[in-house]
Chains A and B, each alone.
Chain A
Amino acid sequence: MAGKRKGEPSTTEIDMTPMIDMTFQLITFFMFVMNFSEAEQDDRIQLPMSQLAKPVEGPTDTPITLQLTNSGSVIYAGELVALSDIGSYLDREKTVILDAGKEPNAATVIIRADGRSKTGEVQDIVRICQEKGFERFALRAQYDEGR
Chain B
Amino acid sequence: MAKRESKLSDKIEINMTPMIDVVFQLMSFFMCTLKIVTPEGDFDIRMPLAAAAAAPDDQQVPPVRVKLSAGPDGALAAIVMNGTTVSDFDELRKKVVAIVGTDAGPNSLAEKTELELDCDYALKYSNVVKAISAVSGTVQNGQIIEMIKKIKFTPPKKPGS
Contact = CB atoms under 8 A, between A and B. Distances in A.
Contacts of B144: 52, 54
B17 to A, nearest CB: 10
Given A23-B23, A54-B44, A142-B41, 18 more contacts: A23-B20, A30-B34, A48-B126, A53-B41, A55-B40, A110-B42, A115-B125, A116-B124, A118-B124, A119-B70, A119-B123, A120-B158, A122-B128, A130-B47, A139-B45, A139-B129, A140-B42, A140-B43
B3 interface: no
A47 B39 CA distance: 11
7 contacts: A23-B24, A33-B34, A53-B133, A137-B45, A139-B45, A143-B38, A145-B39
Interface stretch (A1-9, A34-42, A74-82, A87-95): A34-42
B49 A141 contact: no
A141 B48 contact: no
Contacts, number: 169
B16 interface: yes
Interface size class of B (residues with CB under 8 A): 35 or more
A51 B74 CA distance: 23
Contacts of A27: 23, 26-27, 30
Instruction: Describe B's contact surface by its main secondary structure.
Output: mixed
B35 A48 contact: no
A120 B120 contact: yes
Contacts of B70: 119
Interface of B: 16, 19-20, 23-24, 26-27, 30-31, 33-35, 37-49, 68, 70, 74, 119-130, 132-133, 136-137, 139, 144, 153, 155-158
Given A35-B35, A51-B133, A119 B40 contact: no
Interface of A: 16, 19-20, 23-24, 26-27, 30-31, 33-35, 37, 39, 41, 47-56, 68, 105, 110, 113-124, 126-127, 130-131, 135-143, 145
B125 A135 contact: no
Contact of B126 (A31, A115, A127, A137): A115
